[in-house]
Amino acid sequence: MKTGAGNVAAGAGRAKDFVVVKTRAGLDNAYAAKKPLAVEKLARLRAENKSATPSQLMKLLEAELSATEAKSGAESTVFTAAASLFVFTAIEIHGGGVKTPARQRLIDAIIIADSKVTKNVAKYGGFALSLLTKRLRIIGTAVAAISSARSKFPWLKQVASILGVEEAAKKGAAWIVIAATRKSLGPVPEKWPAAKPTATKGVK
């Protein structure tokens, strides 16, 4: 038979697990909603630059993101949206169906600032943030930083260090996003994957 303290501890454990599950689902749903925009963006870029290699399109995307920061500022919602679209389009260039821990951390990191997930987790208080920091390290750190600061940019630098990006403290937001993307996704493919053959019906 559980004591009163045991019941409290068990209840807290269930609540913490609920927060983690709901947060994971929220991040996954947010990415699923944004992924089609990246697929569309890549299709448009390839149509406009028919002979461009994956590497060349990545350079176009990087230049575009840097220009957005210069025009709108790192704190603007315009840049935040551009940064998430940049990352998700880069993922499609590298192969959208590939799943790695590094790629998942990148997705979680960039979507936090442009999602309702942060507010949903923050309302559970300190225990939720401490648990997320332990189990889903980058999420907990990001949520805690955004919840306690008016600016997203300092959080971005914290996330950069978790993703293994060095010298981020002296760099701009676009540089950090680009560096984190390169670090997490690795080398850009040299060429596009071969088109899948179109299925044809047999003639009876």
Question: Cα–Cα distance between 91 and 23 in angstroms, integer?
Answer: 22
Q: What pLDDT score does 97 carry?
A: 80
CA 124 to centroid of chain Cα atoms: 22
Domain ranges of the chain: 13-185
Query: Quick one: which H or E segment has residue 183?
Result: helix 173-185
Instruction: Specify whether the CB–CB gap between 188 and 93 falls below 8 A.
Output: yes
Question: Cα–Cα distance between 142 and 134 in angstroms, integer?
Answer: 12
Q: What pLDDT score does 10 carry?
A: 44
Q: Model confidence over 37-66: pLDDT tens digits?
A: 999 999 999 999 999 999 999 999 999 999
Secondary structure (DSSP) of 109-171:
HHHHTTSSHHHHHHTT-HHHHHHHHHHSHHHHHHHHHHHH-S-SHHHHHHHHHHTT--SGGGS
Query: Is residue 6 scored above 50 in pLDDT?
Result: no
Instruction: Specify whether the CB–CB gap between 65 and 173 falls below 8 A.
Output: no
Question: Cα–Cα distance between 73 and 83 in angstroms, integer?
Answer: 12
Instruction: Specify whether the CB–CB gap between 87 and 35 falls below 8 A.
Output: no
Tokens of 102: 């590094």
Tokens of 68: 């957005």
Amino acid (one-letter) located at 83: A
Question: Cα–Cα distance between 9 and 70 in angstroms, integer?
Answer: 50
Instruction: Specify whether the CB–CB gap between 111 and 33 falls below 8 A.
Output: no
pTM of the model: 0.74
Q: Model confidence over 102-137: pLDDT tens digits?
A: 888 888 777 776 655 555 555 544 444 444 444 455
